[in-house]
C-alpha cells in the first residue's frame, strides 16, 4: 500500500517531540519513556524506532540514568525522506528496483517493460517530495510551510528553508 508504516508515524511523533523539547531545552536528552508517557505508543516500539534513527545518524543517544535521545542536526536539516528511508528502507515503489529482484538477475520484464522508466520518474517525484519536506515543516509552532511544488519547485523552497538558520 502507498502508505507510511506505523513505525514511521511513531518515528515522526518522537522526532517532533524531541525537536520541541530541544527548542526549549537545548542539549537535553529526551527519554523514550517520556515520549510514550505522553502518547499512547508502546514503549518497545519507540525504542526500536529511535534505535533505527540513531543508526542512521538522525538522532544521537545517551545511555545511563539521565540518558535519552536528541537530534543530531536542526529540524530543517532533517527530511522526511531521511526518516522514511531509515525506518522503511529505500523506497523502491516499483519492484523493478527492489534488492531482491535485482540480486536475482533483475526484473524479467525490464527489457520490454513499458512502465519501468516512467514509473521510476513517478517514484522519484514522490521521493523528491519527501526529500524536500523537512522536520521543521512538521513542527506545530514556528512551522515553515510545506515544500509545496514538490521535486522541482521544492529545490528553491528547501534552499530558502535551509537559509533560515
Partner DNA sequence: AGCAAATAGCATCAAATTGGTGCCGTTTGC
Partner DNA sequence: GCAAACGGCACCAATTTGATGCTATTTGCT
Chain residues in the site for DNA (CB under 7 A): 1, 5-7, 31-34, 42, 44-45, 47-48, 50-51, 54-55, 61-69, 88, 100
Tell whether residue 35 is a contact of its own copies (CB under 8 A): no
| 2-to-5, 26, 92, 133 alpha-carbon distances in Å | 10, 36, 11, 18
The continuous run of DSSP H or E covering 84 comes out as helix 80-88
Tell whether residue 34 is a contact of its own copies (CB under 8 A): no
Tell whether residue 43 is a contact of its own copies (CB under 8 A): no
Tell whether residue 45 is a contact of its own copies (CB under 8 A): no
Residue closer to its own copies by CB (options 68, 81) is 81
Backbone phi, then psi, for 17, in 5-degree steps?
-65, -45
47 interface partner picked from its own copies, DNA, none, CB below 5 to 8 A per type: DNA
CB neighbours of 14 closer than 8 A, spacing ≥ 6?
32, 35, 46, 49, 50, 53, 69
Interacting stretch for its own copies, rule CB under 8 A, among 45-53, 57-65, 66-74, 112-120?
A: 112-120
Residue reference for cell 537530534: 71
Amino acid at each position: 500500500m502507498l502508505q507510511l508504516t506505523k513505525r514511521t508515524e511513531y518515528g515522526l511523533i518522537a522526532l517532533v517531540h524531541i525537536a520541541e523539547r530541544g527548542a526549549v531545552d537545548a542539549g537535553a536528552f529526551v527519554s523514550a519513556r517520556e515520549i510514550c508517557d505522553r502518547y499512547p505508543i508502546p514503549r518497545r516500539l519507540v525504542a526500536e524506532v529511535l534505535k533505527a534513527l540513531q543508526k542512521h545518524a538522525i538522532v544521537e543517544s545517551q545511555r545511563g540514568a539521565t540518558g535519552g535521545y536528541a537530534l543530531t542536526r536542526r529540524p530543517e536539516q532533517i527530511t522526511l525522506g531521511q526518516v522514511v528511508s531509515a525506518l522503511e528502507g529505500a523506497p523502491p515503489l516499483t519492484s523493478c528496483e527492489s534488492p531482491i529482484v535485482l540480486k536475482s538477475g533483475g526484473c524479467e520484464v525490464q527489457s520490454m517493460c513499458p512502465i519501468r522508466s516512467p514509473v521510476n520518474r513517478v517514484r522519484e517525484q514522490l521521493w523528491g517530495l519527501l526529500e524536500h519536506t523537512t522536520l521543521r515543516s512538521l513542527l506545530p509552532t514556528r512551522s515553515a510551510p510545506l515544500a509545496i511544488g514538490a521535486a522541482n519547485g521544492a529545490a528553491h523552497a528547501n534552499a530558502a528553508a535551509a537559509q533560515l538558520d
